[in-house]
Amino acid sequence: MKKILLIICLVSSISFSQSGSEKKGSYLAIINRTDSEQEIITKAANIVPTPQQYDWQKLEFIAFVHFGMNTFTDKEWGEGNEDPKLFNPTELNAEQWVRTFKEAGMKLAILTAKHHDGFCLWPSKYTEHSVKNSPWKNGKGDVVREFVDACKKYGLKVGLYLSPWDRNNPNYGDSPKYNQYFLNQLEELLTNYGEITEVWFDGACGEGPNGKKQVYDWQAYYRLIRKLQPNAVIFGMSPDLRWVGTETGYGRDTEWSVIALQLDNSDKQKITSERSSLDEIYKPHDMTDYDLGSREKIKNADLLFWYPAETDVSIRPGWFYHPSQDSLVKSVDKLVDIYFNSVGKNGVFLLNVPPDKRGLIHENDVKNLIGLNKVISQTFNKDLSENSKLRINGNKINDKNSVIGNEKFLTVENYGKPSTIEFILPERKTFDVVMLQEEIRVGQRIEKFHLEFWNGKDWQKFAEGTTVGYKRLLRFDPVTTNRVRLVIEQSRLNPTLSNFGLFKLNLTF
């Protein structure tokens, strides 16, 4: 008889109960050329997120706010020579933005404090290209301040986007001078506006007025952020959060958070077992391959670390507001589909919602955001597997509610071999959505699974997948039964399950 471990996980610790070949969780693992394939798998199975990464993952659905000079020039990328007097939102109301996000179920909002055109939405003392020289509020306004205050009022966490590319600054391309300018602005944003949860960088880089391409000092940027906002995560050009690889909102069918990294010889000498050592050696690079963490990838790695995906898309065709796109706002059905393919594929869903020239979220965007939240809330408000009994590998144990959920999780000691977790419902139910969650504070382990239902005579497969991670959502044709079986076909060491649910999709909005 295989043993079943029942473990209560503590948020404040990354030391977990040990069994068999397992060890306590690590934030990264160095792969030695002498490591066997099983030793590499064991290391990968025990990589865990930092507390900041874990807290970020739990946000699930967050907002992006592209707003600035491009809003008034009807462009996506500005030139940097725009007159600050063009910026004049007549009805700017950051509370309307954030209230809308709150009603849509979002937990964090990220504002484009400065886009590629270099125009600053706060009165930066390091440039004249900012709101202080606009007619809005007679040059006395601060969009960042109003945004942050609105987030605090409605209980949303704050993120800020600061474009490293600056098409206005005359020193861009003179790398040392511009890097200091960028650090100065970063310091303004990270010291004057309270707690910042996410700092967002993209990799856009061009030539400066001198014809030279700017070389960004990423390590200096990381150091400043860690010093001023130690609880913040950095998106994109850092080892904290990675871009999923498209701007469609759709994640990979197989989405690993444990990622393989190749190192050159000098970096191998600098890396230690401390997660902080990643900051000093990390070089932003293309992380958009479909396969980032398979067994084949990790066996050739020098380093493994936790690197989760953020899945971004705009609610409109463009990222900034354009009047011609008022009729092209993504439908509720489309947004629901994106939700299932982002949050439901081990990612965090970052949805851009751009304010218009008034400084308001357009009515069409508001309507569809609220519609999305209504569908998600109605669908997931009732778990049809509630009060079910569990049978693990044929052995009946306890009620589901006493085993998983509410900080409890199940570890099946199968040492990577196939295993089954059967849910016996109190009565027959009809459902078309299943939710699976691993306890990622132990590690991401499930590699392949499928689901079956008892049709009265036989077990019949109705859904399948590969990775689970923080959350996996699957949709399928409606199934009616009182018995469902999760078959974990392949896993890295002992798989965990922190949550399981059966739901009926409700598309009424």
Strands 309-314 and 347-352 come out as parallel
Number of Cβ within a 10 Å radius of residue 22: 19
Q: What's the pTM? A: 0.94
Are 231 and 324 members of one domain?
yes
Are 336 and 212 members of one domain?
yes
Residue 18 confidence (pLDDT): 34
Are 493 and 367 members of one domain?
no
**2 pLDDT higher than 50:** no
Split at pLDDT 50, 70, 90, the class of 70 is very high
Any domain includes 42: no
The rounded distance, in Å, linking the Cα atoms of 323 and 75 is 11
**272 pLDDT higher than 80:** yes
List of residues 6+ apart from 259 with CB closer than 8 A: 242, 287, 292, 293, 304, 305, 306, 307
Q: What is the layout of strands, in order, in the sheet containing 303-306?
A: 28-30, 303-306, 258-261
Residue 23 confidence (pLDDT): 57
Are 268 and 356 members of one domain?
yes
Split at pLDDT 50, 70, 90, the class of 156 is very high
Are 288 and 322 members of one domain?
yes
CATH code for the domain in which residue 453 is found: 2.60.120.260
Are 405 and 291 members of one domain?
no
Closest of 234, 229, 354, 246 to residue 284, by C-alpha: 234
Last residue of a domain, one of 343, 358, 380: 380
Any domain includes 44: no
Condensed to tens digits (0 to 9), the pLDDT of residues 167-204 reads 999 999 999 999 999 999 999 999 999 999 999 999 89
Last residue of a domain, one of 363, 380, 397: 380
**398 pLDDT higher than 90:** no
**21 pLDDT higher than 50:** no
- Contact (CB, 8 A) for 53 and 233: yes
**What average pLDDT does the segment 112-134 reach?**
98
Number of domains the chain is built from: 2
CATH code for the domain in which residue 176 is found: 3.20.20.80
Show the beta-strand stretches assigned E in 164-219: 198-200
Closest of 194, 165, 197 to residue 181, by C-alpha: 165
Are 316 and 260 members of one domain?
yes
Any domain includes 29: no
**What average pLDDT does the segment 379-403 reach?**
89
**4 pLDDT higher than 60:** no
Residue 22 confidence (pLDDT): 52
Closest of 156, 164, 185 to residue 62, by C-alpha: 156
Are 415 and 331 members of one domain?
no
Residue 400 confidence (pLDDT): 86
Strands 198-200 and 157-162 come out as parallel
**85 pLDDT higher than 80:** yes
**What average pLDDT does the segment 287-294 reach?**
93
Query: In the predicted model, what is the mean pLDDT of the chain?
Result: 93
Split at pLDDT 50, 70, 90, the class of 14 is very low
Residue 202 confidence (pLDDT): 93
The rounded distance, in Å, linking the Cα atoms of 323 and 354 is 11
Any domain includes 105: yes
**417 pLDDT higher than 90:** no
- Contact (CB, 8 A) for 244 and 251: yes
- Contact (CB, 8 A) for 73 and 81: no
Closest of 497, 484, 364, 368 to residue 425, by C-alpha: 484
* Exposure of 445 in the CB half-sphere (CA atoms within 13 A): 32
**108 pLDDT higher than 80:** yes
Are 388 and 376 members of one domain?
no
Strands 496-497 and 499-503 come out as unpaired
Closest of 303, 486, 302 to residue 385, by C-alpha: 486
**376 pLDDT higher than 80:** yes
**440 pLDDT higher than 50:** yes
- Contact (CB, 8 A) for 454 and 481: yes
Split at pLDDT 50, 70, 90, the class of 415 is confident
Closest of 279, 278, 167, 160 to residue 214, by C-alpha: 167
Map residue 278 onto helix, strand or coil: helix
Q: Look up the domain containing 498 and give its range.
A: 4-23+383-503
Residue 24 confidence (pLDDT): 72
**17 pLDDT higher than 70:** no
The rounded distance, in Å, linking the Cα atoms of 429 and 77 is 51
Are 373 and 393 members of one domain?
no
* Rounded percentage of the chain residues whose pLDDT exceeds 70: 95
**150 pLDDT higher than 90:** yes
The rounded distance, in Å, linking the Cα atoms of 193 and 163 is 18
Residues counted in the chain: 509
